[in-house]
Amino acid sequence: MPIKLPNWYRLIKHSLCHRTGIEGLKGIFKTGAIIPNDGSLADTYPQSKISYSRNHNLVSLFDFNNCNEDECLNQIHDWYRFFFDHEPVTVVILLSRPSLESKLIPNEKAVKDTKGTFVPIFIPRLEVFCPEPIPGEVFRGYLVICGVYEKIYEYYQHDGIFPELFDKIDIFLKKHADLYADPLGQLEKDIDKQN
């Protein structure tokens, strides 16, 4: 676990965002929206079936505007791993806050609904929910984070659906082919640099 916020945090620190893998991104682009998972989409995690968003048919989002940097760092164990848990990449879709703000269900409502038990589960403070599909028109950018080494990332500012992103991901994967072949070797190099 890092002792500081990752470099890519600066890109999302005031953002409302949704994260997915390549297959999820294909589905989002095909439908033109991020849709709630009513159980018809593949589960990302074993606990997906018992999540607050699934139980209430909501789109799960991260809202980093809810916490300052110190609070995000203190809570990093709750959210950090979700940003590089897909292979080969995790894609973070940044969203237009003004377009969605009035529709959002705040984290506080989930806390109240669960009487503070966090069952069904959700991420404290940072996870918010949208009760309807989120159209591609409100997409504002894409952060692509390496699935084997989270320090490697690319950001693409683009409004709306961005089919060319798949070409960008292919270029990203080719550019970092050595890293994907030997992620531990890169980690060892980074540790050597720090010593």
Q: What is the pLDDT along the chain (195 residues), one digit of tens a residue?
A: 457 899 999 999 988 999 999 999 999 999 999 998 776 666 665 566 657 777 788 999 999 988 889 998 988 888 998 899 999 999 999 999 999 999 998 877 776 777 766 565 677 778 899 999 999 999 999 999 999 989 999 999 999 999 999 999 999 999 999 889 888 887 787 777 776
Coil/strand/helix, residue 147: coil
- Domains defined for the chain, CATH in brackets: 9-163 (3.90.210)
> What is the model's pLDDT at position 53?
77
Among 125, 174, 124, 127, residue whose Cα is nearest residue 152:
174
Task: Report the alpha-carbon distance of residue 115 to residue 121 in Å, rounded.
Answer: 12
> What is the model's pLDDT at position 66?
81
Task: Report the alpha-carbon distance of residue 22 to residue 184 in Å, rounded.
Answer: 23
Could you identify the residue written with the tokens 């300052």?
A: 68
Q: With DSSP H G I counted as helix, E B as strand and the rest as coil, what are the percentages for the chain, rounded to 5?
A: 45, 20, 35
> What is the model's pLDDT at position 42?
64
For the chain, the straight-line distance linking the first and the last C-alpha, in angstroms and rounded, comes to: 18
Starting at the earlier edge strand, list the strands of the sheet with 153-157. Answer: 127-130, 59-63, 16-20, 89-95, 139-146, 153-157
> What is the model's pLDDT at position 133?
97
Task: Report the alpha-carbon distance of residue 120 to residue 101 in Å, rounded.
Answer: 23
> What is the model's pLDDT at position 98?
96
> What is the model's pLDDT at position 156?
97
